[in-house]
Chain A
Amino acid sequence: SNFDLTVYLCEYNKQVTSLQRRARCRHIYQRRYNNWSEEVRSGIHPSSQQQQDGDQATSDVHKDTGVRYAPYAIPFCHRRGNFQKKDETHVNKATEQKPPERKMERNRQDETLGSWFKIRIPFGIKYDEKWLLNLIQKQCSVPFTPVEFHYEKMQAQFFIENANIAFALKNVNGVIYNEANERISIFVEPCDAPHSVLKELKSEKVEQIKLPVKERYDVSQQSLDIQRVRSDPGWDTGVWVYLSWLCFSGPCGSSSSSQVKSAGEMDKGERLEPEGMCADRNPLCTTFPDKSTNISSILELFPKLLTLKLKDPHLRVQLLKHTKRVILHTLCVLPKTQHDFSSFVVDTWFQTETMLCFSVSGVFKEVEGSSQGCVRAFTRTFIAIPASSSSLCIVNDELFVSDSNPKKTESVFLIPKPTCCASSISTLSMEWQAMVQAFSTWSGMNVQDSQK
């Protein structure tokens, strides 16, 4: 009787507490043999567990399941988006013989399909490959060898095959800057081995199994004696994966349509909405009749909002100042400050012919009062309109002050003349740029002068 070689792509949605990383979805390959569940379990990547009846796996990648490690099992794959697809393939079979226990010898002990990581640099397409990799290496505590560096859409990507190195690279996130002093982000995530590596290993494996397969292939019958193949002492259970590939490309076996895909080839279009989501609800149409219903309804719908402090409208009235006179008075009663211009980061994030929106972040020191010497972090957001051909007029002003990051307080309060460190100026005209520069200078003056 035949056995089924079944390849499962399983959807896995892990519910975690807020303290744990939230995994939106994971996909794992499983192989299920009707009568060989024990052997199969041993052939699966150690991060997964399989249930006898082929139900959806509920593996925890961080747990040690104590399962024997199979180096060539299709690895754990982390993906965004959910989908579920089941492929079935049939191979002429023999009996229920167990595969050999012994692992196949390999040349590269540490390099396995199971420990690959994809490194992504958003907007990395802006940067030259050599320059970027050098920059990263300077900050990375361990040397790394990028595999398959390439640009994809707006990102730069490469692969790393060692968890320790991947971890070290993760720490480089946000501490490297480009020539315009913009921060460069690095994202690290586990993944399948890159295609070039898979291909390479495949051809290695192909060579290794060609001989025993050849020996057991009956040309006259056009059939491959699977049992005899598997009883070869050179086999590892993981090699079954590759055998199934071969069987479908060659004349052996009576295969039906071969739809076995590696995780890297999954069609992104195969997506289902995550469970529990109401895809058809337009949240913007929800209305609330009064304040009490408002808050409890919101909290029901979005439990996480418990952490969001909804502003008391009375407080808002107190803190929101209206009219120039009131605003200036408010600014005057704030403690005297000294701003560190070298710490300024300016974002010009929206503009039209009639309005300019920009934000300035940085640090300042209080130079009088009970908190004299305290260094604070601030972000000031402005909306301004042209007042004349060379000046701006502020129409909206938002100031947010927080305690400074201790690292930032080490910055020296140097330059009296401010420099405008623009993070991004999209299509800002020359006029606007001049005005922003001028405004930057102006903002360095103390509040008294501004009233003139």
Chain B
Amino acid sequence: MAMSMDFKTYVDQACRAAEKFVNIYYETMDKRRQALTRLYLDKATLIWNGNFVTGLEALTNFFDMLPSSEFQVNMLDCQPVHEQVKQTQTTVLVVTSGTVKFDGNRQHYFKQNFLLTAQSTPNNIVWKIASDCFHFQD
């Protein structure tokens, strides 16, 4: 029934990193919007309430257009993606939900999921968003 120790450690590490990343994501979204696209891969995709945005330029335009935000995340869940799928890179599925208020608009419940991939650099592991799916929930 229990996970093997190796798997458990693997899950733990991947998920801790993902959680840190997500915290940074929402802070950046709220307070440093202009830096947000740095957290995305060049070919990352975003689906925002059913609308498809892909590529850094389109993402930059989109986040620029979006009014300033105030996110409150109430739930965060993550699990590493099966190794059969992403063999070369550690990938984590992250799901969040909570509330958001865009400036000039009423508060909404939202749900969001990310696919994060870990990219190794000489000094570090850098996590980036490969895919982002955001929905209002009300």
Interface string of A359-398 (1 = CB under 8 A from B): 1010000000000000001010101010000000001101
Q: Do the beta carbons of A173 and B47 come within 8 Å of each other?
A: no
The verdict on A395 contacting B65 (CB below 8 Å), with A316-B12, A350-B115, A400-B111 known, is no
Q: Do the beta carbons of B84 and A379 come within 8 Å of each other?
A: no
Contacts of B52 in A (CB 8 A): 424, 426
Is B68 an interface residue, CB under 8 A from the partner?
Answer: yes
Contacts of B54 in A (CB 8 A): 426
The one of B7, B21, B50 in contact with A347, judged by C-beta atoms closer than 8 angstroms, is B50
Is A153 an interface residue, CB under 8 A from the partner?
Answer: yes
Interface string of A386-419 (1 = CB under 8 A from B): 0000000001101010100101000000000000
The verdict on A154 contacting B79 (CB below 8 Å), with A347-B133, A347-B135, A423-B47 known, is no
Is A212 an interface residue, CB under 8 A from the partner?
Answer: no
Q: Do the beta carbons of A379 and B106 come within 8 Å of each other?
A: no
- Complex CA gap A80/B60 in Å reads 14
- Nearest Cβ in chain A — how far from B107, in angstroms? 11
Most chain-B CB neighbours within 10 Å: which of A173, A284, A304, A395? A284
Is B131 an interface residue, CB under 8 A from the partner?
Answer: yes
Is A429 an interface residue, CB under 8 A from the partner?
Answer: no
Q: Do the beta carbons of A302 and B115 come within 8 Å of each other?
A: no
Contacts of A377 in B (CB 8 A): 137
Q: Do the beta carbons of B21 and A405 come within 8 Å of each other?
A: no
The verdict on A396 contacting B3 (CB below 8 Å), with A23-B103, A173-B106, A349-B131 known, is no
Mark out the residues of chain B between 31 and 54 whose CB falls within 8 Å of any chain A CB in the assembled complex: 31-35, 39, 45, 47-52, 54
Is B105 an interface residue, CB under 8 A from the partner?
Answer: yes
- Complex CA gap A385/B51 in Å reads 24
Is A310 an interface residue, CB under 8 A from the partner?
Answer: yes
- Complex CA gap A347/B81 in Å reads 18
The one of A189, A307, A383 in contact with B72, judged by C-beta atoms closer than 8 angstroms, is A307
Q: Do the beta carbons of B62 and A187 come within 8 Å of each other?
A: no
Q: Do the beta carbons of B21 and A284 come within 8 Å of each other?
A: yes
The one of B45, B65, B111 in contact with A120, judged by C-beta atoms closer than 8 angstroms, is B65
Q: Do the beta carbons of B50 and A424 come within 8 Å of each other?
A: yes
Is B56 an interface residue, CB under 8 A from the partner?
Answer: no
- Nearest Cβ in chain B — how far from A230, in angstroms? 38
Contacts of B58 in A (CB 8 A): 154
Q: Do the beta carbons of B20 and A298 come within 8 Å of each other?
A: yes
Q: Do the beta carbons of B67 and A187 come within 8 Å of each other?
A: yes
Q: Do the beta carbons of A174 and B138 come within 8 Å of each other?
A: yes
The verdict on A395 contacting B11 (CB below 8 Å), with A189-B67, A284-B24, A305-B23 known, is no
- Nearest Cβ in chain B — how far from A14, in angstroms? 11
Mark out the residues of chain A between 21 and 71 whose CB falls within 8 Å of any chain B CB in the assembled complex: 21-24
Which residues of A are at the interface with B, using a C-beta cutoff of 8 A?
A: 18, 21-24, 80-81, 120, 122-123, 153-155, 170-171, 173-174, 180, 182-183, 185, 187-190, 271, 274, 277, 279, 283-288, 294, 298, 302, 304-305, 307-311, 313, 316-317, 320, 322, 326, 345, 347, 349-350, 354-355, 357, 359, 361, 377, 379, 381, 383, 385, 395-396, 398, 400, 402, 405, 407, 423-424, 426
List the 6 shortest-distance A-B pairs measured between CB atoms, nearest first: A395-B82, A349-B133, A423-B50, A182-B50, A350-B131, A123-B51
30 contacts between A and B (CB under 8 A): A18-B70, A120-B65, A122-B62, A170-B106, A284-B21, A284-B39, A284-B124, A285-B124, A285-B126, A307-B73, A308-B76, A309-B74, A309-B76, A322-B7, A357-B115, A357-B131, A379-B111, A383-B81, A383-B82, A385-B82, A395-B84, A396-B79, A396-B81, A398-B79, A400-B97, A405-B109, A423-B47, A423-B49, A426-B45, A426-B52
